[in-house]
Structure 1
């Protein structure tokens, strides 16, 4: 059997399923079906099948051994590199810097505890993209201690990158309600949302552990 393409002058060509046979020593042809209404993709597959090619479904042809999530991770890493965030943390690559970058990416994509974070990124390509070794939650806490020691350098780099003499700096103070009783930053005071009797934590672009719940925004910064 084969598929014959029959041209028409003023109409689309016809596609006929035909077979050849012998009768009285002569080769003859007969039409078995008109396939003209089939999509071109189906006609192409049927033609290849009649030529001896075999097809199997993807489910039976392949076995998925392991799959890592990649797209969203690559997008975050690309954004970090475009912003030169890695060089802001440290000028050269090191295990601590890569762990910090991984924690920031995880905080954006799947915020969890440090233990859960190390389990989550094993389902993604993040360890490969950042050349992470087998890091556990203790390594992440150590990387956070390392980052804290670099706070002053990072702030200086940020200022050098984004500020100049007589630059305009915008600052805003906000607050969030706090549920609990053991946070040293939480206190009673003027609630901007009108929720009386609620502990709250004030925060702004520049942080201070000496914020008071009754401070106005302009009073929340120390005078030099």
Structure 2
């Protein structure tokens, strides 16, 4: 899915379509993290020229989904714990800023649409069961909509353009299930209420706390898994 500012109207090129297909394959793990990218194979698979493929790969590099080195080629990024935590620190700062600006710049209609979206989210079975809070990308993603609502082109470019799919890749790779599912939804609800009240300071604080809590939850899950692995190792040695 190509994520664009809804006000933009652009023609979709072959490179756009290939970029989107490869992007989705990387995010969903169909093309494995850390795997080498074969340009001849991809060009043959999509029946496109190498120049068109390279245009798509250039865009994937800007989205931080692949890394390219001269005389070595392209690889899908590795999903590391350190990389994940660094991204969450960046998100905490920048999405907090976006939230403050959303409180200033969001229209009443945009706010109403977000409340409707959250009502739709609340009906999801996994959320009701408290096991997962999964959001489709783009217009059904709370964070994406808040960022767009900031109406700040630079924040939108960084968070929705450069980092958005990398964040979703990490979510897919590390799993969407979370004991914080219900709490995360409640935090979203409080954030949109702060935005609706035009309280930018509170909205920013709530968003920063929300992302920091998610990061802490991930750290706890990683620590628990490490302990379990160590216990298994000790039991078998």
State the TM-score, normalizing by the size of structure 1: 0.28
Greater Rg over alpha carbons, structure? 1
Q: Which has the higher helix share?
A: 2
Q: Which has the higher strand share?
A: 1
Q: Flag the structure with more relative contact order, 1 or 2, with Cα contacts below 8 A and sequence separation at least 6.
A: 2
State the TM-score, normalizing by the size of structure 2: 0.27
